[in-house]
Amino acid sequence: MTAMGSLILRTATRLLLPLLLLFSLFVLLRGHDEPGGGFIAGLVGATGFALYLFAFDAERTRSLMGVDPRLLLGLGLFAATVSGLPGTLLGHAFYTSLWWTPTLPLLGEVKLSTPLLFDIGVYLVVLGSVMTIVLALAGAEEKAEETTWNR
């Protein structure tokens, strides 16, 4: 796996990763009213980290992410589940959407809602699960390579 990352790929990745992550956030928030949303945004984000993984290795990707993808998975699932509850507290059915548009200084009117929380949850779940799988595969590969080298 280490041999895969060429200099060009590494340099490009350093530039592309922040862009991809920013773009994923953009797609996530844009999904509010326009095409986009948590699932596709999560995939875009995961693409960024996966690219980094190809350029460098699993260990560095893990330390770059800072958190274990499983934690993201758990938090996302929790957020998505919880987002159904506020509606029931107000006496509506489960997963009834609630909208809340406070006006903040500098930002102007901000649309907050339970679907947004749900979407953020989906984003985290997708990012977390894709990264769990990719890191597991890459980790296994690297371990296999190490053992062949040591033989």
Partner 1 sequence: MEPVMAVVVGILFAASIYMMLRRSIVKLVIGLILLSNAANLLIFTIGGMVRGLPPLIAEGDKLPAGGWADPLPQALILTAIVISFGVLAFAVVLIHRAYEVVQEDDLNKMRSTDT
Partner 2 sequence: MSLEVALPIIIPFLAGSLSLVFYRAPLVQRWLGVAGTGALLLASIVLLYRTYTDPDQVLSIAMGGWPAPYGIVLVSDLLGAIMTVLAGIMGFATAVYSLPTISRDHEAFGYYPLMHLLLAGVCGAFLTGDVFNLYVWVEVLLVASFALLILGGERAQMEGAIKYVALNLLSSILLLVAVGLTYGMTGTLNMADLVGRFAAMENQGLVTVVAMLFMVSFGIKAAAFPLFFWLPAAYHTPPVAVSALFAGLLTKVGVYALFRFFSLLFTQDVGYTHEILLWGAGFTMITGVLGAAAQYEFRRILSFHIVSQIGYMIMGLALFSPLALVGGVFYIMHHIIVKANLFLVSGVVYFLRGSYELKHIGGLWRTHPWLGLLFLIPALSLAGVPPLSGFFGKYIIIRAGVEQESWGIVAVALVVGLLTLYSMIKIWAEAFWKAQPEEHEERARAFEAAVSGKRLTLMVLPIGALAAITVFIGLGAQPIYELAYAAAEQMRDPQIYVNAVLGDTQ
- By a kind-dependent CB cut-off of 5 to 8 A, residue 133 interacts, out of partner 2, partner 1, none, with partner 1
Residues 88-147 touching partner 2, rule: CB under 8 A, are 88, 91-97
- By a kind-dependent CB cut-off of 5 to 8 A, residue 55 interacts, out of partner 1, partner 2, none, with none
Q: How far apart are CA 65 and CA 6, in angstroms?
A: 21
CA distances for 110 relative to 4, 67, 106, 118, angstroms:
44, 29, 10, 17
By CB under 8 A, is residue 133 in contact with partner 1? Answer: yes
By CB under 8 A, is residue 87 in contact with partner 2? Answer: yes
Backbone φ and ψ of 90, nearest 5°: -90, 10
- By a kind-dependent CB cut-off of 5 to 8 A, residue 140 interacts, out of partner 1, partner 2, none, with partner 1
By CB under 8 A, is residue 81 in contact with partner 2? Answer: yes
Q: How far apart are CA 52 and CA 13, in angstroms?
A: 6
Tokens 């990352």 sit on residue: 5
What b/e sequence results for 108-137 when a residue is b if at least 16 CB atoms lie within 10 Å of its CB, and e otherwise? eeeeebbbbbbbbbbbbbbbbbbbeebbee
Min. distance of Cβ 144 from partner 1 in angstroms?
A: 7
Q: Which is nearer to partner 1, 61 or 129 (CB)?
A: 129
- By a kind-dependent CB cut-off of 5 to 8 A, residue 136 interacts, out of partner 2, partner 1, none, with partner 1
3-state secondary structure of 64: helix
Stretch that binds partner 2, among 9-17, 26-34, 50-58, 81-89 (CB under 8 A): 81-89
